[in-house]
Amino acid sequence: MTATIELGLPGLTMTPGDHICAFYRGSVGRDEVLLPYLRAGIDAGDKCIAVLDQIEPDDLWAELGSDDATGHAHDSHQVDLMRSTETYLRDGAFSKESMIDFWNTAISGPLDSGDYTFARSLGEMTWALRQLPGVEGLVEYESELNRFLPQYPQVILCLYDLDKFDGRVVVDLLRTHPKLLLCGSLLDNPYYLEPDEFLASYAGSQPT
């Protein structure tokens, strides 16, 4: 496998194992990241998994276009577009353990089959703003993902709308993502903490 992978935005490449926090504003900003990320995956022959919250799968397929490559990606299930209610919020609640189990199954199957050598996933994270059980575990989940990513040749992109998430959450997101995608630049995050360090500090900061 090549050491770097095209992210989809001009001049930006990823490395296997990257866990990227993409900050944007509004649906236009989201699509400026999401669409080229998936199109680059289609062109590269990657397994692509997108969990959506503010856009319906059929609408995203329409945005991706109707060329032969996109049509093949749809028909062959190279790209799986899913809703947050089918994944993060199954049974009306969030569990970081069950969500990591979901990623493990969704990614290991296609890679183990030999049909794909690399997986790129993304999650549109506005589901965490709903008043549902377990959503308070969001940043702990983001930290634990850093243990999961090295298990497979993969990258995961987490989409956060700065018009919706407050500064307190953003601070914790900075501490749980090794890479940041911001204003068209992919940056090494100097504020990132390894899971053991973050989870210990986070537990100590919570009210008892």
- pLDDT tens for 85-131 read 999 999 999 999 999 999 999 999 999 999 999 999 999 999 999 99
Q: What is the pLDDT of residue 66?
A: 82
pTM here is 0.94
Task: Check whether 1 has a pLDDT greater than 70.
Answer: no
pLDDT at 17: 97
Q: What average pLDDT does this structure show over 61-87?
A: 94
* In the chain, domain spans: 15-161+171-205
Per-residue pLDDT tens over the stretch 176-190 = 999 999 999 999 999
Q: Is the pLDDT of residue 197 over 90?
A: yes
- Max Cα-Cα span within the chain: 56
pLDDT classification of 33: cutoffs 50, 70, 90: very high
CATH of domain 15-161+171-205: 3.40.50.300
d(CA 138, CA 129) in angstroms, rounded, equals 10
Token pair listed for 141: 């989940």
Question: SS3 for 175?
Answer: coil
Number of DSSP helices (H) and strands (E) in the chain, helices first: 7, 9
Look up residue 79 and give its two tokens: 């790209």
